[in-house]
Structure 1
Amino acid sequence: MDRRKFVTHTIAGSVMLSAGGVLLNSCKASKKHLTILHTNDVHSHIEAFPKNHADFPGLGGLARRAGLVQKIRKENPNTLLLDAGDIFQGTPYFNFYGGELEFKLMSMLRYDAATIGNHDFDNGIDGLLAQLPYASFDFLIANYDFTNTVLDGYTKPYKTYIKDGLKVGIYGLGINLAGLVTKKLYKETEYLGPYEVATDIEALLKITEKCDIIICLSHLGYSYENENRPDDLKLGKRTKYTDLIIGGHTHTFLERPTVVTNANGRGILVNQVGCFGVNVGRVDFYFDEAGGSAEGVTISV
């Protein structure tokens, strides 16, 4: 299916840069504050790592993440909680429950949206569909065409959210499954070029939906040396309206978001917080009469 037809069918100035942050132009006024919390590649890690673990001693776990999210929501009720994919696979919890527990717990934490990673197909497209009733959050994926599969109609390319009077548009992008996932698992899912889809969706969110902030949930990977392989840094350079790319897949640990100059010469943020739920990313957007700014940090759980 042609990408532009798919998008239509499915959805019927200069800046100053600083470490981990950017200054934005804003059409909104007077002291607005949005907080974005995000995870990626949690891989069914429900419990914290043991204190004697070689890499992540005592870190992670859904209970600790829940406490952190609750604390930040009390500080700023205008908070969105997002995930960049690979929710499944990695512990016996997935082997036994098939993803049910992961989705139930994420729903209890009140995740707002997630995109789909390659490991989320590990029990096949039918296995993923079977667990969707346990998820109370949105699955956003713009470059997978599920028209000829059982997932048709169960995902959205994007969704908009209103927080503190700001309209936030969020869209999702997935990695090419061919050669990464067995064909029998994802069946007739059609992969569409992420750069082309992203520029179509972000323009729609900015021009038609009139979003103040645009966020991409990406499971492409942070960066590859192969120029022909899509990644988040290359994506950031090609987009015009996306303000934040939240990434996954490569398990990249960033202390702060990377600032990338986009196709309009504006600085945007690209972030990823490793894997296994040991970190939560936080990005804060601030707007007042003078304009807007964004800054981010990684928080150990």
Structure 2
Amino acid sequence: MPRSRNSLPVIALSLLLLLLQATAEAADGDFEMHIVHLNDFHARFEPINSGGGSCSPSGACFGGIARVATEARRLIDAAGDNYLFLNAGDNFQGTVWYSLYKWNVTAAILNMLPWDAATLGNHEFDDKIAGLVPFLDNINFPMVVANLDISQEPRLTGKFNKSVVIERGGRRIGIVGYMLRSTPDIASTEKLIFLDEAESLAEEAKRLKEDGVDIIIGLSHSGLDVDRQVAAKVAEVDIIVGGHSHTLLYTGTPPDNDTAEDVYPVMVTQESGHKVAIVQAMAYTKYLGNLVATFDSNGELLSATGNPVLLDETVEEDPEILEALAPWQAGLEELETRKVGETKVFLDTSSNACKRGECNMGNFITGAMLDEMAVLQSNSSSQRWTEAPIAITNSGGIRASIEEINNGTITYSDLITVLPFENTIDIIEVTGATLRKALEFSVNDTDTWKSKRQGPLYFRYLLHYSGLRVEIDVRQPVGQRVTRVSVLCAACNVPRYEPLKDDAWYPVAVNSFLAEGGDAFYMFRDEARSRTIGRVDVDVMLDYMARFSPIVQGLDGRTVVLS
């Protein structure tokens, strides 16, 4: 019997209702998860200034672990049951808190926060494995690292796992940790063997998937550049929560004049069409990451949105954390209030200033190193005006800004926050060719970073110096970017700049980290014909400030970047 024309609208309506029902059921199968994350804490137990240094009572203050606790709990409460709270490493080192109390205060205070997992950073090895083991023995949250071979370091047996599986909303979520494979170049990792990041993550992720895990999160301390590569290669990973490069990812205009390197989250699309979200939230507790990710019923990432939250003074400090900090703080009071100098200018490292070009904090530090060389000469029989006419430090060793407010007071704690690593200022003898090689290496990664970051150029291993004038042309190929180098003469009555001679030998003041080949500057270690170990960097700075305060260090064009 033929259908009536009048029945067609009814059939169409029925089909529409079925379609809407199916769509609703699919939506009901979606899973929304909130990820709150912190990276590169660096012992910022107390609030900081805009550049990560000590907070002045008369200036704007941000972060501190008590604000992290308040905001993390607020975000977690708002998320309901479907949340994760993750820590992407580098909890050690960076302030007088760590210099005095090491792992003890770090474990005690971090244990008060509801972490679901953490990974290790390179600075967790600053006191070698012996300084890390008691921390791992005393924390109450899972530590995950998948790319460490500990076969030659049995002290770490049973101290961490490759991954942890957490159930939220009926979904099994695998969190797999990994560190920068080149960590031995920048840390005292002893006999540990670091494996490929992507291969290690993929191997553990496949195992978890076979065990019924729905979602894979990489918890990384490898930096944004490596995380992009990992996201493109590992088919199983859905989200990477990162650290190490101190990268601010932010969608829109960031608050407090910070520079965002890219949007939040960075999305990487694999050849298969699978999408991976990457997040990171700067460093030093200034921001707390807040990602909202939605997955379908098959565990495929549908969307990822959010932004880091600025922890300014509108965020209250958690009273329980403040109470727990008080006994430790009492032991620091003398160091935090001891005046060691004054500055009339802002000594700037904010927004990665010291990785983008010349910065006055780098000039200040190397100026003090160069002054130390002149002082040493006055106590020797040398006919030179200085023991070394060149002073060099690495940008990664400059850890915070110092503000000129509060009458420009510089405290001992400020100084330790800027230079926390207890390096010595050594003298090495190298040829001009070796110096040129080091300068080229310091700017050899510009293409990689420029192509994947917004804003100004960024040099991962940029060197800072006194006694050198350097022109860098990033339009040239890698290995040919240092187009002009002048050096202060040493055997002269009036110091002046002369062209660098590749075959001449030069005494150079460097910190012990560089002298030992740190940051992969192996040429300083392998090509130096001599090395004289000097005083600790902080002591050198103390003497310099005693003679030359107030500090009025500026920029003088010693580094010219053509782009």
If the TM-score is normalised by the length of the shorter chain, which range does it land in? Answer: 0.7 to 0.9
Taking the aligned partners of 2:52 and 2:130, their CA distance within structure 1 comes to 35
Is 1:151 the counterpart of 2:156 in the alignment?
yes
Change (3 A) 1:129 1:257: same
Is 1:239 the counterpart of 2:242 in the alignment?
no
Taking the aligned partners of 2:147 and 2:50, their CA distance within structure 1 comes to 40
Taking the aligned partners of 2:296 and 2:231, their CA distance within structure 1 comes to 25
Is 1:174 the counterpart of 2:179 in the alignment?
yes
Question: 290, 296, 299: which one pairs with 2:306?
Answer: 296
Q: CA RMSD, aligned part only?
A: 2.4
Q: Secondary structure at the match of 2:308?
A: strand
Q: Is the 8 A contact 2:44 2:64 kept in 1?
A: yes
Change (3 A) 1:111 1:54: closer
| TM-score normalised by structure 2 residue count | 0.44
Question: 71, 74, 78: which one pairs with 1:71?
Answer: 74
- String of CA shifts for 1:151-204, please: whole Å, max 9, x gaps: 1111101111001111100001111222212xxx32211111112112212222
Alpha-carbon offset, residue 293 of structure 1: 3.3
Q: Secondary structure at the match of 2:291?
A: strand
Taking the aligned partners of 2:228 and 2:291, their CA distance within structure 1 comes to 17
What is the 5 A alignment of 1:130-209? Answer: 130-149=134-153, 150-175=155-180, 176-181=182-187, 185-206=188-209, 208-209=210-211
Point out the structure with max Rg over C-alpha: 2
Taking the aligned partners of 2:304 and 2:242, their CA distance within structure 1 comes to 17
Residue 275 (structure 2) aligns with: 267
Alpha-carbon offset, residue 61 of structure 1: 0.8
Residue 115 (structure 1) aligns with: 119
Taking the aligned partners of 2:77 and 2:69, their CA distance within structure 1 comes to 12
Taking the aligned partners of 1:172 and 1:161, their CA distance within structure 2 comes to 14
Q: Is the 8 A contact 1:60 1:277 kept in 2?
A: yes
Change (3 A) 1:54 1:249: closer
Is 1:38 the counterpart of 2:37 in the alignment?
yes
Q: Secondary structure at the match of 1:85?
A: coil
Q: Is the 8 A contact 1:254 1:272 kept in 2?
A: yes
Q: Is the 8 A contact 2:265 2:304 kept in 1?
A: no
Taking the aligned partners of 1:32 and 1:103, their CA distance within structure 2 comes to 33
Q: Is the 8 A contact 1:37 1:80 kept in 2?
A: yes
Residue 85 (structure 2) aligns with: 81
Please tell me the residue identity of whatever aligns with 1:248.
G
Alpha-carbon offset, residue 86 of structure 1: 0.7
Taking the aligned partners of 2:67 and 2:286, their CA distance within structure 1 comes to 10
Higher relative contact order (CA 8 A, sep 6+): 1
Task: Return 287-296 or 252-261, whichever deviates more.
Answer: 287-296
Residue 65 (structure 2) aligns with: 62
Taking the aligned partners of 1:52 and 1:233, their CA distance within structure 2 comes to 26
- String of CA shifts for 1:127-158, please: whole Å, max 9, x gaps: 11012233111110000112332111111011
Hey, which bits of structure 1, 4+ residues long, moved more than 6 A?
51-56, 288-291
Q: Secondary structure at the match of 1:63?
A: helix
Unpaired segments ≥5 residues, structure 2:
1-25, 251-263, 312-563
Higher helix share: 2
Alpha-carbon offset, residue 287 of structure 1: 4.6
Residue 11 (structure 1) aligns with: none
Taking the aligned partners of 2:243 and 2:309, their CA distance within structure 1 comes to 16
| TM-score normalised by structure 1 residue count | 0.81
Taking the aligned partners of 2:27 and 2:111, their CA distance within structure 1 comes to 31
Taking the aligned partners of 1:236 and 1:50, their CA distance within structure 2 comes to 33
Alpha-carbon offset, residue 262 of structure 1: 2.2
Higher strand share: 1
Alpha-carbon offset, residue 50 of structure 1: 4.5
- String of CA shifts for 1:90-110, please: whole Å, max 9, x gaps: 001111111222222221111
Taking the aligned partners of 2:37 and 2:270, their CA distance within structure 1 comes to 22
Change (3 A) 1:296 1:188: same
Residue 286 (structure 2) aligns with: 278
Alpha-carbon offset, residue 209 of structure 1: 2.2
Question: 214, 217, 220: which one pairs with 1:215?
Answer: 217
Change (3 A) 1:251 1:53: closer
Taking the aligned partners of 1:263 and 1:144, their CA distance within structure 2 comes to 28
Please tell me the residue identity of whatever aligns with 2:273.
G
Q: Is the 8 A contact 1:40 1:274 kept in 2?
A: yes
Alpha-carbon offset, residue 83 of structure 1: 1.0
Residue 92 (structure 1) aligns with: 96
Please tell me the residue identity of whatever aligns with 2:233.
R
Taking the aligned partners of 1:51 and 1:172, their CA distance within structure 2 comes to 30
Please tell me the residue identity of whatever aligns with 1:93.
W
Taking the aligned partners of 1:234 and 1:160, their CA distance within structure 2 comes to 24
Taking the aligned partners of 1:263 and 1:154, their CA distance within structure 2 comes to 37
Q: Secondary structure at the match of 1:232?
A: helix
- String of CA shifts for 1:43-71, please: whole Å, max 9, x gaps: 01011115898898311111111111111
Please tell me the residue identity of whatever aligns with 1:168.
I
Q: Secondary structure at the match of 2:61?
A: coil
Task: Return 97-106 or 61-70, whichever deviates more.
Answer: 97-106
Question: 261, 266, 274: which one pairs with 1:258?
Answer: 266
Taking the aligned partners of 1:97 and 1:264, their CA distance within structure 2 comes to 49
Taking the aligned partners of 1:40 and 1:123, their CA distance within structure 2 comes to 20
Change (3 A) 1:53 1:284: closer
Alpha-carbon offset, residue 236 of structure 1: 0.8
Q: Secondary structure at the match of 2:276?
A: strand
Taking the aligned partners of 1:119 and 1:83, their CA distance within structure 2 comes to 14
Unpaired segments ≥5 residues, structure 1:
1-26, 224-230
